[in-house]
Structure 1
Amino acid sequence: MKTLKPLALTLGDPAGIGPQLAVEAWRRLRLSGEGAFFWLGDPRLVESAVPVTCIGSPKEAGAVFSDSLPVLPVFCEADVVPGRPDSRNAGATISSIRLAVEYVLAGRAGGVVTNPIAKHVLAATGFPYPGHTEFLAALCACPGEEIMMLASPQLKVVPVTVHVSLRRALDTLTTDRIVSVAKAANTALKRDFGIAAPRLAIAGLNPHAGEHGMMGEEETTIIQPAIDRLRAQGINCQGPLPPDTMFSANARPNYDTAICMYHDQALIPLKTLDMAEGVNVTLGLPIIRTSPDHGTAFDIAGPVTGFCRADVSSLLAAIRLAGEMSIYRERRG
């Protein structure tokens, strides 16, 4: 499906594999007819490897995409050495994200696709957010409403608690939070994935989903009340389901998304099934945002040449999914 507006692909950490992936993604997509993207990055990092056109606005991307990589310049302050992150270039990474969001909020781009960042590099400059997602929510003026989905052709998962310790996850798991996350997932499946009647699978927390209280009471005291409230609001959900069986090949066709109680409960099955094409999607924002489900890979980062050691599959999946989501959202108005 051809996107109606170009997508904004961010710089990421310039010393990581982001520049290589941007070039490789352009090579794979430029003649596909699937729509265009533009890269908010430093053209000096890539222009020796591929033809580059520096553009002044997103609307120029489509006209040049088949012949050259459209780059909306965001220049790095320090020389970039692949594999050696430099906090002096954190400003370019942050500016790239900020500009991408501004273009989408203004209706000039269809969605944001973020290249991987190094959180510790940004933190060293006083960046106050723990990662991409929280920064995006702040830029969209909806802090606290961001929800993470990991999506692949085989499975979609949404963790209720995310980047906290397991002990902290147990302390913060509440009926209200489960209801809020499940409702956001249900809305996104309709609006952005074209699923008219979403089916949610709600995971249990304990072994065997508590085994009727023998192995834990959270299923009875926290999770089941959330399911009851969701059903009362017309949301199709089942559970609490035993986490050790709900991701099997026989179980997955029975639901559209799994609502999981903590980070690893969600991400381990998805990454085991389909690490290469897993996509990080942020729900709860007024914009579309996807990202490859991997990091900066400083250990294999190199200069942008005709050879790319990094696997571009996840970024391609993120670009394609953002394009599909933008079409669904525009069709729904």
Structure 2
Amino acid sequence: MDVGMRQTHSASAGVHLLLALTLIACNSQLLVQANSWWSLAMNPIQRPEMYIIGAQPLCSQLTGLSQGQKKLCQLYQDHMVYIGDGAKTGIKECQYQFRQRRWNCSTVDNTSVFGRVMHIGSREAAFTYAISAAGVVNAVSRACREGELSTCGCSRAARPRDLPRDWLWGGCGDNVNYGYRFAREFVDAREREKNYPKGSIDHARTLMNLQNNEAGRMAVYNLANVACKCHGVSGSCSLKTCWLQLADFRRVGEFLKEKYDSATAMRINRRGKLEQVNQRFNAPTSEDLVYIDPSPDYCLRNESTGSLGTHGRLCNKTSEGMDGCELMCCGRGYDQFKTYKHERCHCKFHWCCYVKCKRCTSLVDQFVCK
């Protein structure tokens, strides 16, 4: 994929990207910090139609941007809100995928959002960077299709070779090519901006972040598929029109979760490149996640590592999986209490055309880690 934009050499650790994602996902539960460029995504009035192309105030107010990102902001102000939307999508998916794990993609009420956990080059950081980048590709690609951005439109992807000859190609598809390119320029900018000494731990972390950003973008790109709509008399489907369509983002999350489970441990070598710790396994591809540090112990709260611990987390007494009380509570035991559960019940379909339900209340047992 050739990026048709000017390359920008950008900056350090993408903690600001992660900060953004979380601030959006928490729906204003966290304070918007003045030094976070993600405050753009928190402001509902900053929609594309509110921007003045080439104007300085918007981008100059986002003090968390690197120099390269500021330039991109000035050139593509109408893209900024969709970066925020993508961030929100990514962080919500992260919290869904890890909802039953000791680390649950949790946020903390400070400027680092995920706390010190993200300062560690662990599997969890790898996943968060990947799902963040994926969210940006997803949002920008869709915004192109919907005509919300001035520099892109519907997908111009080539007609698939295996598409039947009598099917039409060219419906307005999601522009995943543009979404990929723009996300690579913007998200990677901060990672590329500072030149750390080769072989240093900071350089290793930068390479790790770039690898995981790319894995996230590639997940969205590769999972995009062909969608078709039938035409014909009385639904005969004698003709079809097809286009390129993004996969449901849940599929992207599940795919990257599998990559998280099989992530490769890496280390920096004398040439300043990442290499596998265990050479017996196949080398990771651009679609794989990598990490350079072991994960901290998420069982107990630890201020130095940023772990919040699992005290107070709900667990499933009957499960033998990670959500089970034995594993989730790390052998500390759990407390049981009663709570009321409200849900819709006794639903009936009424002609025509609505469903009417009752609201049932039941007393259920819940279990919380000690």
* Higher radius of gyration, 1 or 2: 2
Larger RCO, structure (CA 8 Å, separation 6 or more): 1
Q: TM-score range by the shorter chain?
A: under 0.3
Normalising by structure 1, we get a TM-score of 0.26
